[in-house]
Amino acid sequence: MTQKYADLTPIMYPKSVAIIGATDNTGKIGNIIMRNYIDVGFSGKIFPININSQGSILGFKAYKSVLDVKQNIDLAVIAIPAQAVPAALEECGKAHVKGVVVISAGFAEVGNVDLEKELERVAKKYALPVIGPNCLGVMDLRSRINTLFLPTFKLDKPKIGNISFVSQSGAVGSAVLDEMMHEGFGLARFISYGNAAVIDEVDVLNYLMHDKETKVIVFYIEGVKRGKEFVEVAKKATKIKPVVIIKGGRSDAGMQAAHSHTAALAGGYEAYDAVFRQFGFTAAKDLKDLLNYAKILSGQPLCTGNRVAILTNGGGMGVLATDALADNDLKQAQLTEASQATLRKTMPPIVNIRLPLDVGGDADDKRFGDALDVIEADPGVDALIVVALFQTPGADSRVAEKLIHHATGMKKPMVVICMGGNFTEMHKIMLESSGVPVYSSPSDAASSLAALISYSRYRQ
């Protein structure tokens, strides 16, 4: 590639796709990928390529090589045995294919370093942007591309949104992707880049930072190939949009080679931790946090203040949420005299007018609404945590609607804590599909809010 960072546009917006290794044999990867293209309703041209093809594959005219197509090919997806990949890539180069995804495994990850070098060499020769090898490839719901070899019925149906998820690993990628879909996250793009022989994390980060569809970047990495370039791009990216990141392989054996105290302390993961802190990443320690942070960052406004008001319809949950604030260096907000005076008028006498504000188990949508009106306008409140326990007599869908109305109409971030079974789950889905982040524990809610505040302060 001539430019410093590869352009992924031809891979993300192809008008025509060649599937090398496409076949009628069900269960084969080339078959699944081809079917997925048909299933998602890809509107461009599909060219199945198979060296043994006779006439057609899955009803589409088949070719023995991309060179036989004689039409413009934007993207080639390669799913054939590793040994045959460099030759197929060479043909892609000759056929002026604009981008390639190599799904095939059997390269550096199993010790076939020379074969991967050969792939790299061919890619360079034709200045081909290549994702992979040994990856799932890309999924983009808007341009309707899906190079994943996962049968669609095994994954929850994805929803279009503003989160892009990038995973070095295909296994983490598919599991987290499925979980994201199950949890109702809106997906912009999914990119699994595997061995990063040509396109690496720096290229992907650079592409997504400029991508208008992406509001939050979620990254799983095991390492970076170009540390200095990674930092250079990250500095810019985190000033534009949040990058939530998790690094696999935090333990390290490099300690033994250390010469000094400093070297012993600053081993493998610590360097990544330093880079994440210094350049505005939102670092997660486990996959649960990764999704928790992505959820709040994708839907809530930035907020640099840390005075949090808790509104609850259950006393105990309010207490636990207050504890969670302290655990995450957040402050309990104080209501102004004026706010207190208004609340004394609108709340029934059983409600103690102070934060956390416990509006009682009989609180209905009106009471939630009256309390929220005052709290969200109070200048001493930077962010809100609302505990909505749907087991209580007063709480129903009207409460959920009220919460949505307030959360989507105000400039302060708001998160909701709901915990429980099916009735609660139904309301959780209502809230989340309107962009209100819901957490099932006070500590998840508070740590996610803290992540949002920390990122907002970096952006200041």
Partner 1 sequence: MQLLDYMQAQKLLQDHGIRSVDSKYVTSADDAAKFASSDAIVLKVISEKALHKASHGLVALNLNSEEKVRSAYKALEIKARDLSPYKVLAQRMVGKGIEIIIGGKTDPQFGKLLLIGLGGTYVEIFKDFALRLCPIGKKDALAMLYQLKSRKMIAPDDKTEKMIVSLLENTSKLFSENKMEELDLNPIILHDGTYDAVDLRMLLQ
Convert residues 208-247 into a mask of x (bound to partner 1 by CB under 8 A) and - (unbound): ---------------xx--xx-xx----------------
Give the separation between CA 138 and CA 75, rounded to whole angstroms. Answer: 11
Nearer to partner 1, 210 or 277 (CB): 277
Residue 251 binds partner 1 (CB under 8 A): no
> Of the candidates 392, 393, 394, 389, which has an alpha carbon nearest to the alpha carbon of residue 428?
389
Q: Pick the binder of partner 1 from 155, 240, 266, 302 (CB under 8 A).
A: 266
Under 8 Å between Cβ of 144 and 13 = no
Other C-beta atoms closer than 10 Å to the C-beta of 392 total 17
Touching partner 1, residues 338-397 (CB under 8 A): none
To the nearest whole angstrom, how small is the minimum distance from the Cβ of residue 144 to partner 1?
37
- The residue type found at 86 is P
Preceding amide of 301 cis, omega within 30:
no
Nearer to partner 1, 39 or 232 (CB): 232
Under 8 Å between Cβ of 387 and 318 = yes
Nearer to partner 1, 113 or 271 (CB): 271
To the nearest whole angstrom, how small is the minimum distance from the Cβ of residue 197 to partner 1?
18
From the number of C-beta atoms within 10 Å of its C-beta (0-12, 13-18, 19+), residue 139 rates as buried
Q: Pick the binder of partner 1 from 39, 178, 273, 401 (CB under 8 A).
A: 273
Nearer to partner 1, 329 or 362 (CB): 329
Nearer to partner 1, 258 or 338 (CB): 258
The DSSP letter of residue 168 is: S
The DSSP letter of residue 63 is: B
Residue 263 binds partner 1 (CB under 8 A): yes
Q: Pick the binder of partner 1 from 72, 83, 278, 440 (CB under 8 A).
A: 278
Residue 277 binds partner 1 (CB under 8 A): yes
Residue 265 binds partner 1 (CB under 8 A): yes
To the nearest whole angstrom, how small is the minimum distance from the Cβ of residue 224 to partner 1?
6
To the nearest whole angstrom, how small is the minimum distance from the Cβ of residue 261 to partner 1?
5
Residue 304 binds partner 1 (CB under 8 A): no
Give the separation between CA 99 and CA 400, rounded to whole angstroms. Answer: 46
CA atoms within 13 Å, Cβ hemisphere of 91: 20
154-182: string of b/e by CB count within 10 Å (b at 16+)? Answer: ebeebeebbbbbbbbbbebbbebbebbbe
To the nearest whole angstrom, how small is the minimum distance from the Cβ of residue 432 to partner 1?
33
The DSSP letter of residue 67 is: G
Other C-beta atoms closer than 10 Å to the C-beta of 257 total 9
Preceding amide of 356 cis, omega within 30:
yes
Give the separation between CA 268 and CA 249, rounded to whole angstroms. Answer: 9
Nearer to partner 1, 211 or 273 (CB): 273
Q: Pick the binder of partner 1 from 212, 259, 345, 411 (CB under 8 A).
A: 259
Element (H, E) at 358: strand 357-358
Nearer to partner 1, 292 or 454 (CB): 454
The footprint of partner 1 on this chain (CB under 8 A) covers a number of residues equal to 20
Q: Pick the binder of partner 1 from 255, 271, 341, 350 (CB under 8 A).
A: 271
Under 8 Å between Cβ of 326 and 442 = no
To the nearest whole angstrom, how small is the minimum distance from the Cβ of residue 205 to partner 1?
15
Residue 422 binds partner 1 (CB under 8 A): no
Residue 331 binds partner 1 (CB under 8 A): no
Applying CB under 8 A, which residues contact partner 1? 223-224, 227-228, 230-231, 259-263, 265-266, 270-271, 273-275, 277-278
